[in-house]
Amino acid sequence: MKCKRCRRAGAAVELPSHHAAFCPDCFFVFFRRQVTEGIRKLRLLAPEDRVLVCVSGGKDSLVLWDVLIDEGYETEGLYIDLGIDGYSDRSKEKVVAYASSRGKTPIVVELAKEGIPIPEAARCVRMQECSICGTVKRYFFNRVAAEGKFTVVATGHNLDDETARLLGNLLHWQRGHLARQHPLLPGEEGGLVRKVKPLWRVSEVETAAYGFLKGIDYVNEECPMSEDATSLVYKEALSRIEDRMPGTRIVFYQGFLDPSNPLRKGPEAAAADAARGAEDDAGEGVGAPQACAACGAPTYTETCSFCRLKERVRNARSLRAARGSR
Ligand code: SF4
């Protein structure tokens, strides 16, 4: 099959949802256009932004970093070492190798050094690893961005991630989450940095193809803690629908983002809600953000959810140590 764009080279990527097939060079053009169009449509980034790209070592975040560098944005990468045996080391290697291929050194936060490695913290407080991980990552995304004077934090969530989240929110009628789900979460005075998801228009398959054809070496394995993640069930369901009816995912998500959709309030309203006292993206607190009494980070409660979590882990460790010494 010939490339539908240049009509000369053989097609390397077939995209039924776009009724298209591309050779590698034309696919790069297509993919980057999808990303830049997604950024432009929702005004996610401005040329003068300093972007902190959160990189996990997986394909999505490294591809995002690659596209943003090529598009001329000023970027740095942030890697959070979750302290997961083997997996975290392998992921870090990929991030460091990619960064060095682009003449960069990533910012690395090691949760073991911060006293809160995810698997041990989850055991201590008897919580799901993923919910602890979410709280901890959000905290460091914001803290590193604020300390480094970045204007925006970018994550590699793609169309599959966003539609899986949307389906989950719909199935459980999470009206608050539905109202605020959006690729742009505006920043707020008091130190909450703007967060964006520039890959919202591209699918996981398209991102993987871009990474592969560009020769980006990413970690192939899934995080070992993801086995029970419900988002995988929603992704699987949507993949079956997409296989039978190509293009359904993007129609589903774009329809949801339509400003006339009564379920969605839009980023500005979401920010106003947060200021008035609704739950924020981290699912915490009321009122306008104030400084955490323990660490000074912006929070809607007296102490931030990260400090409260750390305190619980510390207490559980002390209790164990006391029991062990008896
Ligand atoms: Fe964190 Fe869970 Fe994702 Fe692993 S699967 S990176 S623990 S949120």
List all residues 6 or more positions away from 48 whose beta carbon is below 8 Å from its beta carbon. Answer: 151
Instruction: Compute the distance from residue 149 Cα to the ligand 1 centre, in Å.
Output: 27
Q: Are strands 290-291 and 298-299 parallel, antiparallel or unpaired?
A: antiparallel
For ligand 1, atom 2, which residue shows the shortest CA distance?
A: 130
Report whether residue 179 contacts ligand 1, using a CB cutoff of 6 Å. Answer: no
Comparing 14-23, 45-54, 151-160, 228-237, the range with the smallest average pLDDT is 228-237
Task: Tell me the helix, strand and coil percentages in the chain, rounded to 5.
Answer: 50, 10, 40
Which atom of ligand 1 is closest in space to residue 130's alpha carbon? 2
Residue 178 in contact with residue 54, Cβ under 8 Å? no
Q: Within its chain, how far is the Cα of 127 from the centroid?
A: 21
**Residue identifier of the C-alpha nearest atom 6 of ligand 1:** 223
* Helices 248-257, 230-244: inter-axial angle, 10-degree rounding: 120
Determine the pLDDT at residue 183. 97
Q: Is the CB of 55 under 6 A from ligand 1?
A: no
Between CA 310 and CA 51 the distance in angstroms is 28
pLDDT for 167-203, tens place per residue?
999 999 999 889 889 999 999 888 899 999 999 999 9
CB–CB of 45/152 below 8 Å? yes
* CA nearest ligand 1 atom 8, residue: 130
For residue 274, the model assigns a pLDDT of 52
In the structure encoding, which two tokens stand for residue 195, read together? 């967060």
| pLDDT at position 85 over 60 | yes
Q: Tell me if 80 CB under 6 Å of ligand 1.
A: no
> Would you state the pLDDT for residue 267?
64
Binding site membership of 130 for ligand 1 (Cβ less than 6 Å): yes
Beta-carbon contacts of 30 under 8 Å, excluding residues fewer than 6 positions away, are 5, 18, 20, 22
Beta bridge partners of 22: 13
Quote the pLDDT of residue 273: 56
Contacts of 258 (CB under 8 A, 6+ apart): 264
Q: How confident is the model at residue 210 (pLDDT cuts 50, 70, 90)?
A: very high
Which tokens belong to 15? 């995209």
Closest ligand 1 atom to Cα of 56: 6
pLDDT band, very low/low/confident/very high, at 271 (cuts 50, 70, 90): low
pLDDT tens, residue by residue, 249-263: 999 999 999 989 988
pLDDT of 284 strictly over 50: no
d(Cα 211, Cα 205) in Å, to the nearest integer?
Answer: 10
Beta carbons of 69 and 51 less than 8 angstroms apart: no
DSSP, collapsed to helix, strand or coil, labels residue 300 as coil
Among 118, 120, 155, 230, the mutation site with the greatest number of ligand 1 atoms within 8 A of its Cβ is 118
Q: Is the CB of 133 under 6 A from ligand 1?
A: yes
pLDDT in tens, 86-122: 999 999 999 999 999 999 999 999 999 999 999 999 9
Instruction: Report yes or no: 69 and 75 within 8 Å, Cβ to Cβ.
Output: yes
Q: What are the chain's domains?
A: 42-215+225-274 (3.40.50.620)
Q: Hey, whose CA ends up nearest to atom 5 of ligand 1? A: 226
Q: Give the Å distance between the CA of 320 and the centre of ligand 1.
A: 26
Task: Name 109's bridge partners.
Answer: 80
Burial group, residue 10, by CB count within 10 angstroms (0-12, 13-18, 19+): exposed
